Chain A
Amino acid sequence: MTTSPQNSADSRLPLVIEKNLDRILDTWISELQVDGGRLLNLIRESELREQASRFLDLLRKAIKVAGVNPEKTAAYDELRDLLDELSRSRSEQGFTPTETATFVFSLKRPLFRELKEAHGDNDTTALLDDIWQATMLLDRLGLNTTEVFINTREAIIQRQQQDLLELSTPVVSLWNGILALPVIGTLDSERTQTVMESLLQKIVATGSDIAIIDITGVPAVDTLVAQHLLKTVTAARLMGAECIISGIRPQIAQTIVHLGVELGNVTTKGTLADAFALALKKKRQKVQDI
């Protein structure tokens, strides 16, 4: 969309906003109260008014300096920053992108009403032109909030993925010198590596000589996961620790065979309990009734 500079110059938009700031703000707020749905349950009215008033003020300034085209003009930077901040905080408060964009879109009606008033009945062409420009402007700003919203969400998801990666590697000490690593969930190469590295570190840190890797919670073992498992077993062995793999369920056993992976000299046990019993036996210890 391009608008000729003449149009922008003739636009009454800046003047209309300037002159009727308070009234526009009031109608906008009541518009938001109707349109906003849950908005007012989640945000205090004073806060909403504050945001709306800042938005309107920055919009007024930006239009005055740069006209109605927000693309790439520095004059709109402050306004965009405000919207960024707004989208981000609302996304964290649990608003939908629609709800956030509606904040901007609902300024249309109050603004159009003032434009209509300003133009009177005699100049419909100019009025339509102004309305068109105002629509374009608010649409762009509203869509902007949606974009920020998506980016914020993506950042949150990435952070959570990172957190999960850290969280999901709980190497636990079962007994003096016996470690267990219950692996749960889908293993991609990054996660497998993290999990296996943390096991090796814990072996050193605790001076353990037996480590049980339990894969009951792993939905599939492919060649990459198998390779990581085998590497870990070998590395642990070099460090003087023996690994026992437990929890190989029937479907996993079958796929491992079809893949042709040789678990050859790796000790395996059906369950974590069996593996623990074997570990105790190797350490010549036992758990007794008292």
Chain B
Amino acid sequence: MSGNEHLQLSISTEPDVVYVRQAVRKLASEIGFSLIDQTKLVTAASELARNALIYGGGGMATIEKKQQGTRTGVCLTIQDQGPGIENIEKALEDGYSTGSGLGLGLGGARRLSNEFEVKSAPGEGTTVSITRWL
């Protein structure tokens, strides 16, 4: 990882999702996250990366160390140029899936992180950003 603890990975295959997960795990453990927090972050990363792959047709993950005052955290941004989400609120509902999933990924990722933001509109792709503080 370069000096700025900033890593970009493309997501276009299933192994890429695993790779994103491992990169998130690596940064989180370097920063000193507990095993439980690492696992939460990794699981959220997995959900978002897979959504970008399945629904967004592939995308890009940016993983970075975040410093805010005395707080340290990991910020993950997953971006795709796919069809976008029409109704974000609905997509966040537990059990709502337009695919064959459990419909828990997006809402789960929100519950697994401290900060969560979705930017999406039909035809304009989707960007999900999450942060978890140490």
Give chain A's interface residues, CB within 8 Å of chain B.
161, 186, 188-190, 219-224, 226-227, 250-252, 254-255, 258-261
Contacts and interface: CB of A to CB of B under 8 A. Distances in A.
12 contacts: A186-B21, A188-B18, A189-B50, A190-B14, A220-B39, A220-B42, A220-B43, A224-B101, A251-B39, A254-B36, A259-B43, A261-B108
Grouping DSSP codes into helix (H, G, I), strand (E, B) and loop, the B interface class, with mixed when no group exceeds half, is: helix
B9 to A, nearest CB: 15
Interface string B1-41: 00000000000001101100110010000000001101110
B112 interface: yes
Grouping DSSP codes into helix (H, G, I), strand (E, B) and loop, the A interface class, with mixed when no group exceeds half, is: helix
A188 B15 contact: yes
A251 B34 CA distance: 9
A227 B39 contact: no
Report the contact-size class of chain B (Cβ under 8 Å from the partner): 20 to 34
B79 interface: no
B64 interface: no
Contact of B108 (A186, A227, A260): A260
A254 B35 CA distance: 11
A21 B105 CA distance: 68
Nearest to A250: B36
A13 to B, nearest CB: 44
Nearest to B108: A259
A188 B15 CA distance: 7
B86 interface: no
B40 A227 contact: no
Contacts of B14: 188-190
